[in-house]
Structure 1
Amino acid sequence: MMNTNLEIKTKGILAVITGVTSYLLNCFTELVVVLALLMLFDYATGVIGAYFKKELSSWKGLQGILKKFSFMLLVVLGFLIDFVVSYLIEKVGLQFTTNGFFGLATTCWLIGNEGLSILENLAVIGLPMPPFLKPALTKLKDTADSIGGGKDEE
C-alpha cells in the first residue's frame, strides 16, 4: 500500500509538471522570440560598448548573462501567474482566461527595457540615433507597465 500511495503521488507530480510545461510551451510566442533576440543584441552591444570604453570584464559579462537568464525567469513567472489565475477561476466554476495577459505584459515591458538598453549601448559606441526610437521604446515600456497596473520602480 505504501508503494501505491508513493506511485500515485509521483504520477500526480509528473502530471502537474507535464501540464505546466505544456502550458508554458504554448506561451512561447513571437514576442518571446523578439525578446530573446533583443537580449542577445543588448548583450553584444554591451560588450562592444565596454570594449570602446576599455572596461571589458569577464565578471561583468557573467553578470550580464545571469541578468538575461533572470529576465527569462521573469517572463516564465508572468505566464505561470496567468496559469494559476485561470486555473483558480475555472475551479470556482467561471469561464475566464487571462489569455497570457501577465506573461505578455511582462514580455512587452522587457522588450522596451532591452530596446532602451541597446540604444544606450549604441550611444556609447558613438552611433547616431534616430530620434523616434527612444520615445517609441519608452512608450512601449510605459504602456506595458500601465496595463499591468504598476509603476516603473527603476
Structure 2
Amino acid sequence: MNKIEKVNTAKALIASIGAFLSAKLGMLYIIIPLLMAVMIIDYLTGMLSAKKEGITNSKAGMWGIVKKLLYGVEIAVAMIVDWTIINVANSLGISIRVTTFFGLLIAIWLVINEVVSILENLIKLEVPLPEFLMEVVKNFKIVVESNGNKLAEKIKVDEKE
C-alpha cells in the first residue's frame, strides 16, 4: 500500500468513527468537544488569575484537573440514565426519538458553568468585559437549571399518581 492509499484509509477510518459517534451521541457529539475546549480555557485563565493574585498552588491546580475529569464521569452517568430510559421504554413499546437527554442537559450546564468561570477569571485578570455578557450567561444557566428542575418535579408528580 502506497502513501496515498494509507492516508485515504486513515481518513476513511476517522470519518467512519466520527459518523458512528455522531449517530450514537446525537448533539453530544458537538457539545463534548466544546466542553473540553472551555474546560481547557477555564483552567488556563484560572491559573493565570491565580498567578496574578500570587496564590498559585500545585495542589489546587491538580484538584482543578481532577474536577474537570470528573465532569466526564458526570456526563457518562447521565448517558447511562438516558440509555436505560430509552431501552426500557423501547421494551415497553414506547418509542423515544432522542439519543440523549440528560447527558445533553448536563453537558450544556457544564459548558455554561465553565463560561461563567472563564468570565470571572477574565474579570480577575482585569480584562474589560461588558456587564451584559455575564448577566446573559448567568441567566442562561438559570434557564437550563430551571428546566431540569421542572422535569424532575414532573417526574416526581407522575410517580406519585
Using the size of structure 1 for normalisation, the TM-score is: 0.76
Give 1 or 2: higher helix fraction: 2
Q: Show structure 1 runs of 5+ residues with no match.
A: 1-21
Identity of aligned residues (%): 28
Q: Show structure 2 runs of 5+ residues with no match.
A: 1-19, 151-161
Question: Any idea what SS the aligned residue of 1:43 has?
Answer: helix
Give me the whole-angstrom Cα distance separating, in 1, the residues matched to 2:68 and 2:100: 21
Question: Any idea what SS the aligned residue of 2:149 has?
Answer: coil
Question: Any idea what SS the aligned residue of 1:132 has?
Answer: helix
Q: Which moved more, 1:58-67 or 1:29-38?
A: 29-38
1:26 maps to 24
Give me the whole-angstrom Cα distance separating, in 1, the residues matched to 2:60 and 2:128: 26
Please tell me whether the aligned partners of residues 79 and 103 of structure 1 are also in contact (alpha carbons under 8 angstroms): yes
* RMSD after superposition: 1.9
2:93 maps to 93
Give me the whole-angstrom Cα distance separating, in 2, the residues matched to 1:38 and 1:54: 24
Q: Deviations over 1:70-90 (max 9, x none)?
A: 112111222221111001111
Give me the whole-angstrom Cα distance separating, in 1, the residues matched to 2:132 and 2:100: 29
1:127 aligns with 2:133: no
Q: Which moved more, 1:91-100 or 1:42-51?
A: 91-100
- Which 4+ stretches in 1 moved above 6 angstroms? 22-25
The Cα shift of 1:24 comes to 9.4
The Cα shift of 1:23 comes to 7.4
Q: CA, structure 1 residues 42+143, in 2 after alignment: closer, same or farther (shift >3 Å)?
A: same
Give me the whole-angstrom Cα distance separating, in 2, the residues matched to 1:96 and 1:34: 26
